[in-house]
Chain A
Amino acid sequence: GQQLNQSPQSMFIQEGEDVSMNCTSSSIFNTWLWYKQDPGEGPVLLIALYKAGELTSNGRLTAQFGITRKDSFLNISASIPSDVGIYFCAGAPFTSGTYKYIFGTGTRLKVLA
């Protein structure tokens, strides 16, 4: 199935550092979602973006919907150990009245205390 290109694939950072990851697509999306997944659990929604250029924050997390509607990025500021996990972007074109989200390949984040 189709996937979004997400980078970086993995990253090790020191506690307190800022983190940035992004997703790009060849298709135009109407919605971008960002998730965090812990081992053995379902993904948890972090931020939802609905408009091109939109910048939205959730605590230390900030995400933007790219102007071209083909990309999005997620920033985490002042990382802490509990930020460890896998982050996924997801995008959806709105077709036929429902959302079929396509997921990015994931960014595995490890925070060194």
Chain B
Amino acid sequence: GAVVSQHPSRVICKSGTSVKIECRSLDFQATTMFWYRQFPKQSLMLMATSNEGSKATYEQGVEKDKFLINHASLTLSTLTVTSAHPEDSSFYICSAIINGELFFGEGSRLTVL
């Protein structure tokens, strides 16, 4: 069964609004989670590493003020896309590590109008 759950699966918003995506680990505690972004017909690009109880670590070129990550508990990490614009439309996928293996959530399709 699934070990990582993500919500919402789809969201459509107006330009300038903020959108929050939740990622939960099911039946295990995840001190570290990873957020990936995937454009159509492309690979997965790591955006940031979410660390429980501390600041997220962002990959080069990812704006930390645009993509706010909060990892307030051992089972929940959230990604907030602030002041979203059409170019932020993408497929966002979270993941967590179990015994060195990376398991993904279902993904969240964001469409910014």
Contacts and interface: CB of A to CB of B under 8 A. Distances in A.
B32 A1 contact: no
Interface residues of A, number: 24
Given A1-B60, A42-B6, A100-B34, A105 B100 contact: no
Contacts of B59: 1
Nearest to B98: A45
B102 A33 contact: yes
A35 to B, nearest CB: 8
Given A1-B61, A103-B43, A42 B107 contact: yes
A41 B43 CA distance: 13
Max count, chain B CB within 10 A of own CB: residue among A31, A42, A48, A102: A42
Contact of B106 (A41, A99, A105): A41
13 contacts: A1-B59, A1-B61, A40-B91, A42-B4, A42-B104, A43-B93, A45-B103, A48-B101, A88-B44, A99-B97, A100-B46, A100-B49, A101-B46
